Structure 1
Amino acid sequence: MVHVASALRIFLAAFAFGTAEFVIAGVLPEVATGLGVSIPIAGYLVSGYAIGIAIGGPLLAVATKKLTRKTLILLLGTTFTIGQVLCALAPSFELLMAARVLVSIVHGTYFGIAAIVAVNLVPADKRGFAVALILSGLTVSNILGVPGGTAIGNALGWRATFWAVGALGLAATLAVALFLPARTGQSSTTGSFLREFKALGRQQIVTSLAIVILVMIGQYSLFTYIAPLLLEVTGLDTNIVPLVLLLYGVGATIGVFVGGRLADWKLMPSLIAILTTQAVAFTLLYVVSPYPLIMAIAVVFWGGVNFAFGSPVQSRVLAWAGDAPNLASALIPTGFNIGIAIGAVLGATLLESGFGYRHLPLIGSAALVLAVFIAIGSYWLERRSPAPLPQAAE
């Protein structure tokens, strides 16, 4: 129970990071007006954040590999809090961008290290649940953090949003400092940089990262444009769309924990089943998109299966990078963000080619079918040539 409580404190930090990443969308017009730039230019604050996670996160993870886990988490939490203060005080768009990139680099490293710490805090048969607890910080941030931060920005100005997120980060950092077990700080990786890179060559890690990218391509080729799809194809009222998206977030949170339980039960069979269900969900969205009630239910189901895959795939990466977890774990957020970027571009390309919003789920169907074949092939190779899981280096 103590270990679960410690993981809950890491969840609080994950919630803060998730809110920091996504809340900008809710106050983007106000930020643009306040800094004297156009909304499209302000939108680069989202792109810059994603690039910082994808590139800076892994580099910082390797550079700080000598630090103990607890020390690193506290350093990342402190930097995150300072970064939010810099965002709140930024007098220009350029300085706000710089502060956001700083936070994003810390973000990319944090989620990799947090997953490592979480699985080491609990028994082996609870590791999937521990990863799910961290991932749920992201989904809950969309349900509570983003609307809350947006409301604060609307009432008190966009700078107040960053102050609030900074306060949340400070609270999470203090909780970790006070209550995360001291022995957690003994779990640094002292091996060479070469070991970190060699671990990436294991087929289980390569295929898992490929699956992450494919799932995100499928998800964000559709989710990026889900609002206009619901309005134009499904015919939902403007006031109903936020409710459907809220239910999507609830479904996603439930899916995270279902995936965690399945990962603790039978990891690879569960992952293959989840990916297959995702492919079915995308096809279902294509079929039922013109029918409002069925479509609303399908979106909630889609949210659940989308986020169920995260715990199994991250648990697999951490298991097969046990002797060199820093770089491999930090590449998971990188894979997510690469997939998000590609998915958004593919969706835009499909629309610009003359296809309507209704056809967007078909990108997901194709991406997930490919992910299923990769997962099956990887599992077959793993069973054909069984090898012991690598152990943490001393």
Structure 2
Amino acid sequence: MSNRNNLLVYILAVGVFGIINTEMGVIGILPSIADHFHVSVSKAGLLVSVFALVVAISAPIMPLLFSGLNRKTVMLIGLGFFVLGNILSIMTTNFTLVLIARIIPAIFHPIYCSLAFTIAAESVSKEEAPKAVSKVFIGVSAGMVVGVPIVSFIDGAISLEMAMAFFAIVNAIIFVATLIFMPSMPVERGLSYGAQLSVLKKSITWLSIVAVILLNSAVFGVYSYLAEYLKTVTNVSSTIISILLFIYGVANIIGNILAGKLLTKNANKSVVVFPFALGAIYIVLFLFGQLTFPMAIITLIWGILAGIGANINQHWVMSSAPEAPIFSNSLFLTSANLGTMIGAAVGGIFIAELGTPYVVFVGFLSLLLSIVFIFLRNYMYNPKTKQLAS
């Protein structure tokens, strides 16, 4: 990539970090938020769950509505709402206002992320697109797993207000960088709403969406309870739990980097192999998860695979509808969020009914079902069987 395109991709990666960190960063400061606003921790958790729900609902709608506008303008609008929402969160002492201050930016979350993936892919050749997108995904992983301990540290070392200010500062920096360095990107030949929605008529789109929901459920149905698993099954201290969670986060970023190379080399093979590789890790986890050292190795490999999986999910949906890239990326965001919500919910049921060790079965079941839809898509859209499928 040229230096200019590299700069553009890095701005997008940090921008996505700011967006995702605003979404997930509050996880590390929920107890402080509960104390500050005089609400229960479960009610403070609405700042996470409601945000995710709004993203899932708005993902297929907002990018479609804004698809005809200048991309730079749209990204600045989204970043502006995130900056204003974060500032309002710092200034108010009313929990309802804080919730509103997060809901409004959450509506614009899918617009920015969809555009970030699309612009990164379009800034390079078709063959190099997975590598460019994988760099943006580093921002996603960093926002999810690195931002949380950073915000938690600021909260403990300085104050809750400064921790929340971190969200605003990152988004403000990217707003300025986007304003100065990102070129104007008017839509020269905008697709009509009907043309974009027409991708939903294709069976390959729905096969891809269901597969991604299941693949994300397989990852987050287990990962959502990793801390609980380490505490009750592996039986390690809170310090070791923090270290292992950090290892998972770093491994996730490594997985993003590897994914770009794997998808560029042989995307279809990478998608097919992924559920089997993750399934093998879950088997080892179920058998040896009570042992500390094996658990550390498992966590490292699991984190790498999860990073690869995030890129695979985006590629799988995007490649099913390349004629409407922004809308297909929004479908990916909806699918990923639905998979996360379903996996976490089912994982909670398994833990309540069977016990923490059996949360791994959520991953197994999701992976088995995902394999069906992956192979079904590959069969129906293989050149040798395309005529039969049609």
TM-score range, shorter chain: over 0.9
Residue 382 (structure 1) aligns with: 381
Residue 56 (structure 2) aligns with: 54
Residue 286 (structure 1) aligns with: 286
Residue 227 (structure 2) aligns with: 227
Residue 336 (structure 2) aligns with: 336
Deviation at 1:56, TM superposition (A): 1.9
CA distance in 2, matches of 1:57, 1:377: 26
Q: Mean Cα displacement is larger for which, 258-267 or 146-155?
A: 146-155
Residue 218 (structure 2) aligns with: 218
Residue 18 (structure 2) aligns with: 16
Deviation at 1:360, TM superposition (A): 0.9
1:215·1:367 contact (CA, 8 Å) conserved in 2? yes
Q: 1:71 aligns with which of 73, 85, 95?
A: 73
2:146·2:249 contact (CA, 8 Å) conserved in 1? no
Deviation at 1:143, TM superposition (A): 4.3
Residue 323 (structure 2) aligns with: 323
Q: Mean Cα displacement is larger for which, 38-47 or 57-66?
A: 57-66
Q: What letter matches 2:381 in structure 1?
A: E
Residue 244 (structure 1) aligns with: 244
* Residue 100 in structure 1 maps to residue 130 in structure 2: no
Q: What letter matches 1:163 in structure 2?
A: A
Q: Which runs of 5+ in 2 are unaligned?
A: none
Q: 2:139 aligns with which of 126, 137, 142?
A: 137
Residue 43 (structure 2) aligns with: 41
Deviation at 1:308, TM superposition (A): 0.4
CA distance in 2, matches of 1:122, 1:282: 36
Distance 1:318 1:224, change over 3 A: closer
Residue 9 (structure 2) aligns with: 7
Deviation at 1:37, TM superposition (A): 0.9
2:16·2:139 contact (CA, 8 Å) conserved in 1? yes
Q: 2:111 aligns with which of 109, 112, 118?
A: 109
Distance 1:261 1:214, change over 3 A: same
Deviation at 1:338, TM superposition (A): 1.0
Distance 1:386 1:123, change over 3 A: farther
Residue 390 (structure 1) aligns with: none
Q: What letter matches 1:347 in structure 2?
A: G
Q: 1:89 aligns with which of 88, 91, 95?
A: 91
Residue 350 (structure 2) aligns with: 350
Q: What letter matches 2:332 in structure 1?
A: I
Residue 358 (structure 2) aligns with: 359
CA distance in 2, matches of 1:142, 1:50: 13
* Residue 31 in structure 1 maps to residue 33 in structure 2: yes
CA distance in 1, matches of 2:177, 2:203: 38
Q: Using structure 1 for the length normalisation, give the TM-score.
A: 0.93
Distance 1:361 1:165, change over 3 A: same
CA distance in 1, matches of 2:6, 2:67: 25
Q: Mean Cα displacement is larger for which, 270-279 or 320-329?
A: 320-329
Q: 2:166 aligns with which of 159, 164, 167?
A: 164
Percent of aligned pairs with the same amino acid: 23
Residue 152 (structure 2) aligns with: 150
2:318·2:332 contact (CA, 8 Å) conserved in 1? no
Deviation at 1:248, TM superposition (A): 0.5
Q: SS of 2:128's equivalent?
A: helix
Q: How many residues align?
A: 384
Q: Mean Cα displacement is larger for which, 61-70 or 45-54?
A: 61-70
Q: What letter matches 2:374 in structure 1?
A: A
Q: Mean Cα displacement is larger for which, 204-213 or 314-323?
A: 314-323
CA distance in 2, matches of 1:103, 1:285: 38
Q: Using structure 2 for the length normalisation, give the TM-score.
A: 0.94
2:17·2:139 contact (CA, 8 Å) conserved in 1? yes
Distance 1:94 1:188, change over 3 A: farther
RMSD: 1.7
CA distance in 2, matches of 1:318, 1:285: 31
Deviation at 1:328, TM superposition (A): 2.1
Deviation at 1:312, TM superposition (A): 3.1
CA distance in 1, matches of 2:6, 2:372: 35
CA distance in 2, matches of 1:189, 1:155: 51
Deviation at 1:208, TM superposition (A): 2.0
CA distance in 1, matches of 2:205, 2:307: 19
Q: What letter matches 1:57 in structure 2?
A: A
Q: Which runs of 5+ in 1 are unaligned?
A: 388-394
Residue 391 (structure 1) aligns with: none
Deviation at 1:180, TM superposition (A): 2.2
